Amino acid sequence: MEQISNIEKRLWGSADTLRANSNFASNEYFMPVMGLIFLRHAYSRFLKVRDEIIPTLPSRGGVVRDLTKEDFSRRGSIYLRPEAQFDMLVSLPEGQSAATALIAAMESIEGDYETLKGLLPKQEYAELDEEVLRQVLRIFNDPALQRADGDVFGRIYEYFLTQFADQKAHDNGEFFTPVSLVETIVNVIEPTRGKVIDPACGSGGMFVQSAHFVEMQKANPNERLTFYGMEKNPTTIRLAKMNLAVHGLEGDIQKAISYYEDPHKDHGPFDYVMANPPFNVDEIDAEKMKDDKRLSFGLPGVNKGGKVSNGNYIWMSFFHSYLSPRGRAGIVMSSQASSAGGKEADVRQALVKTGDVDIMIAIRGNFFYTRTVPCELWFFDKAKPDHMRDKVLMLDARHVFRKVTRKVYDFSPEQMRNLTAITWLYRGQTERFTALVQDYLETARAEAEGADFTDLLAAVDACAAFFAQHLDDATVTEAAQRLRADCDAFATAAAELIAAPAEIGALNTRLSVMQPVGDKAKALIKEIDGAAKLLQKAQEALVAKGDRQIEAQTSEAAAKRVTAEVRKVAAEGKKLLAAVAEARVALTGDPAVQLVVTGSLKRFRYFEGQAHWLLSRFPEGRLRDVQGLVKLVDHAELAANDYSLTPGRYVGVAPEVEDDEFDFEEALREIHLELDGLNTEAAELAEVIAKNFEELLG
């Protein structure tokens, strides 16, 4: 399937066209756009589930009964009547209003699902240009999307939420918690069965990722988990309920200001609490909440105006109070909170002394789309083993990140798995750690063995022969011969790698054997790049030679004849170079693909590197202190540090490590991209300033 990132960008571009051809402000058009994504994803999931249901339907006398809403609900999908199915909307005959049809589709869904009643966008479509709306419907019916599965559409929905958050199109972007942080929380608290509450649920990302976690266990999240949410913004509630529905989930999300209201108190206690609450809120009325039973550690501090001076520990008290005796919580919180003083420090000390504070993870800045500040992930566990109740795992992940854009960072899937693996060691789950390392080594071995040089060598040999024929230079031929020899040597070494058993000593041995092969792969990647550049220079020399030949002609007829010959030869060289570039992709990766490692040689290096990252820090498969990364801290040490829960205060500073993977060309590309972004922002800012001056002078 086409790269999902390209599809996302194309769809986003069409949505922007919709905005440009409407009277909507940026904070108004996102609901009709999210409605279209919702409808398209619902249809994709409907088709997939329908094809699964039909073979199972009972028949009598050769007549198969009709599909019902219940058939789809059991499989976590929305049932769509014919008028709500996307193919019907796309194929509307001329003369019929697309807006009217869309409104009817949304009303049909609301009629079948009480939880969505009055929430889906409807009248907004009547205000859009008819032709533009039809065009957007066609784009959202992209052939690539017709083959997409539910996970792809779930990601597209999240991508659009991300984009709107980045634009601050709604609620200053705070309705959306970055997926990396949500997944990390879910991976640590592992919500497998029970009641989940998010008292600041935003667009419902915590619920969706919890459901994904259960699905990974081959179970139905609607049977395993019950979701309860609170959110103050009515539009955000619409987003959250659509987000749940688009993933085939149900949840009880209530409009409430969580500081003063507790609409789900009769459903407690809860097995899991997950939240990304507003940071550092200072306008909470202390009088209104002074008797709140959720404040078992008291108010964190009240100023002269009768306001709670900072709401961070209000949230912490709430989250702890919601938990059942075996409950776990994962919270995104301002990094200021873990070392705050005054009354906040008193609440933190009381929290620590319960023994329920489990893990602290420090996250670097730029993980959020609208905030550059660093944050920390707090984890509570009321069912910690007795021998661990006086300990807290401090994990400083500020040096673990992947650069997504100039302004936004996240975790790669493997970085998340590695951080989670440290928590497994903390919980004594060594077999899970061992299995992950084994998986990395086996994936690396498979990539090394699967590296097929046939197409590349054939393309390079053809290129070399061509340039040797047309240029008096043996360099390309010699380079092609060296490359063939080195590819053969790598293939021989890769074939000698053997499977890694699930035993920590054997895994260390396998890694040490694999590392020299990894060095060969690194050298081979550079050699392939060098050969491609050498061939490109040969092509440039060929073109220059041709130009000289044309200039040497003394008659117009001869010049025309030689020009045609030269252009034919240059075109052949260009074609052969294109074949080399295409053949390289399978080995050294596709430069057009971002954030995902492609190419068997690079993937081999990458997964060998992941195994090395874990085994170099935990060679015995047991938790140990690692300078600059992790430390298990007891309450005595916490008390000696004013009960600070800031990981960096305990783990120390990571030693500097030389980055032998540094890619100078990639670094230059990143600098160029950053410069482009800054130039664009400067131009936009200059335009705004000029416009403001015009308004002032006019």
Q: What is the pLDDT of residues 65-97, one digit of tens each?
A: 888 888 887 777 788 999 999 989 999 998 899
Q: What is the pLDDT of residue 173?
A: 39
| Cα separations in angstroms, 677 against 154, 166, 484, 492, 666 | 28, 15, 41, 45, 16
Whole-angstrom Cα distance, residue 170 to residue 242?
Answer: 16
**Does any domain span residue 163?**
no
Q: How confident is the model at residue 150 (pLDDT cuts 50, 70, 90)?
A: very low
| Cα separations in angstroms, 114 against 78, 84, 252, 502 | 12, 16, 12, 50
3-state helix, strand, coil split of the chain in percent (to 5) is: 60, 10, 30
The mean pLDDT of 180-184, rounded to a whole number, is 93
Using alpha carbons, select from 112, 103, 114, 37 the residue that is nearest to residue 80: 112
Strands (E), 102-212: 194-198
Q: What is the pLDDT of residue 161?
A: 66
**Does any domain span residue 603?**
yes
**Does any domain span residue 589?**
yes
- Residue 8 and residue 148 in one domain: yes
- Residue 196 and residue 135 in one domain: no
Task: Report the share of the chain in percent with pLDDT over 70.
Answer: 88
Q: What is the CATH number of the domain that holds 112?
A: 1.20.1260.30
Q: Point out the least confidently predicted range of 96-100, 190-194, 335-339, 471-475.
A: 471-475
Q: 330 and 299 in contact (C-beta within 8 Å)?
A: no
Q: How confident is the model at residue 162 (pLDDT cuts 50, 70, 90)?
A: low
Confidence check: pLDDT of 171 > 70: no
pLDDT digits (tens, 9 = 90+) for 265-275: 999 999 999 99
Whole-angstrom Cα distance, residue 591 to residue 18?
Answer: 31
Confidence check: pLDDT of 118 > 60: yes
Q: 23 and 127 in contact (C-beta within 8 Å)?
A: yes
- Residue 137 and residue 193 in one domain: no
Whole-angstrom Cα distance, residue 230 to residue 224?
Answer: 21
- Residue 328 and residue 412 in one domain: yes
Predicted TM-score (pTM) of the model is: 0.86
**Does any domain span residue 627?**
no
Whole-angstrom Cα distance, residue 35 to residue 89?
Answer: 14
- Residue 228 and residue 209 in one domain: yes
Confidence check: pLDDT of 5 > 70: no
Q: What is the pLDDT of residue 523?
A: 96
Confidence check: pLDDT of 4 > 80: no
Whole-angstrom Cα distance, residue 164 to residue 156?
Answer: 12
**Does any domain span residue 649?**
no
Confidence check: pLDDT of 453 > 60: yes
The mean pLDDT of 536-559, rounded to a whole number, is 92
| Cα separations in angstroms, 459 against 131, 449, 484 | 48, 21, 11
Whole-angstrom Cα distance, residue 279 to residue 45?
Answer: 36
Q: Give the count of domains, the chain.
A: 4
**Does any domain span residue 501?**
yes
pLDDT digits (tens, 9 = 90+) for 418-430: 999 999 999 999 9
Whole-angstrom Cα distance, residue 391 to residue 635?
Answer: 6
Q: How confident is the model at residue 169 (pLDDT cuts 50, 70, 90)?
A: very low
Confidence check: pLDDT of 372 > 70: yes
- Residue 148 and residue 185 in one domain: no
Q: What is the CATH number of the domain that holds 348?
A: 3.40.50.150
How many CA atoms within 13 Å lie on the side-chain side of 486?
19
What is the pLDDT of the chain when averaged over all its residues?
A: 88
Whole-angstrom Cα distance, residue 616 to residue 196?
Answer: 37
What own/partner pairs with CB < 8 Å and gap ≥ 24 does 424-433 have? 425/618, 425/621, 425/622, 425/623, 426/359, 426/393, 426/623, 426/632, 430/504, 430/621, 430/622, 431/502, 433/614, 433/618, 433/621
The mean pLDDT of 615-641, rounded to a whole number, is 97
Q: Which residues of 197-212 are buried (b: 16+ CB within 10 A; e: fewer)?
A: bbbbbbbbbbbbbbbb
Q: What is the pLDDT of residue 2?
A: 41
Whole-angstrom Cα distance, residue 696 to residue 698?
Answer: 6
The mean pLDDT of 456-474, rounded to a whole number, is 93
Q: What is the pLDDT of residue 362?
A: 97
- Residue 551 and residue 572 in one domain: yes
**Does any domain span residue 582?**
yes
Which of the pair, 177 or 531, is modelled with greater confidence?
A: 531
Confidence check: pLDDT of 309 > 90: no
Confidence check: pLDDT of 152 > 60: no
Q: What is the pLDDT of residue 263?
A: 96
Confidence check: pLDDT of 153 > 60: no
| Cα separations in angstroms, 579 against 395, 471, 477, 491, 688 | 47, 20, 17, 22, 47
- Residue 253 and residue 216 in one domain: yes
Using alpha carbons, select from 179, 184, 185 the residue that is nearest to residue 159: 179
| End residue of a domain, out of 380, 404, 428 | 428
Confidence check: pLDDT of 400 > 80: yes
Q: What is the pLDDT of residue 408?
A: 82
Whole-angstrom Cα distance, residue 259 to residue 199?
Answer: 9
- The top-scoring range by mean pLDDT among 8-22, 49-63, 117-131, 209-223 is 209-223
Which of the pair, 246 or 54, is modelled with greater confidence?
A: 54
Taking the CB of residue 180, how many other CB atoms lie within 10 A of it?
A: 21
Query: Structural domain of residue 468, as residue ranges?
Result: 439-609
Q: How confident is the model at residue 242 (pLDDT cuts 50, 70, 90)?
A: confident
Q: 191 and 200 in contact (C-beta within 8 Å)?
A: no
Q: How confident is the model at residue 664 (pLDDT cuts 50, 70, 90)?
A: low
Confidence check: pLDDT of 666 > 70: no
Q: What is the pLDDT of residue 681?
A: 66
Whole-angstrom Cα distance, residue 600 to residue 588?
Answer: 7
Q: 653 and 629 in contact (C-beta within 8 Å)?
A: no
- Residue 201 and residue 303 in one domain: yes
Handedness of CA 489, 490, 492, 498 (dihedral sign): positive
Q: What is the pLDDT of residue 172?
A: 45
pLDDT digits (tens, 9 = 90+) for 328-355: 999 999 999 999 999 999 999 999 999 9
| End residue of a domain, out of 129, 156, 183 | 156
Q: What is the pLDDT of residue 170?
A: 43
Q: 654 and 629 in contact (C-beta within 8 Å)?
A: yes
- Residue 423 and residue 444 in one domain: no
| End residue of a domain, out of 395, 428, 461 | 428
**Does any domain span residue 263?**
yes
Q: What is the pLDDT of residue 680?
A: 66
Q: 106 and 42 in contact (C-beta within 8 Å)?
A: no
Q: What is the pLDDT of residue 570?
A: 94
- Residue 580 and residue 464 in one domain: yes
Which of the pair, 667 or 417, is modelled with greater confidence?
A: 417
Strands (E), 335-370: 357-363
Q: How confident is the model at residue 249 (pLDDT cuts 50, 70, 90)?
A: confident
- Residue 183 and residue 128 in one domain: no
Whole-angstrom Cα distance, residue 607 to residue 435?
Answer: 14
Which of the pair, 75 or 377, is modelled with greater confidence?
A: 377
Residues contacting residue 47 through CB under 8 Å, at least 6 positions apart: none
Whole-angstrom Cα distance, residue 690 to residue 684?
Answer: 10
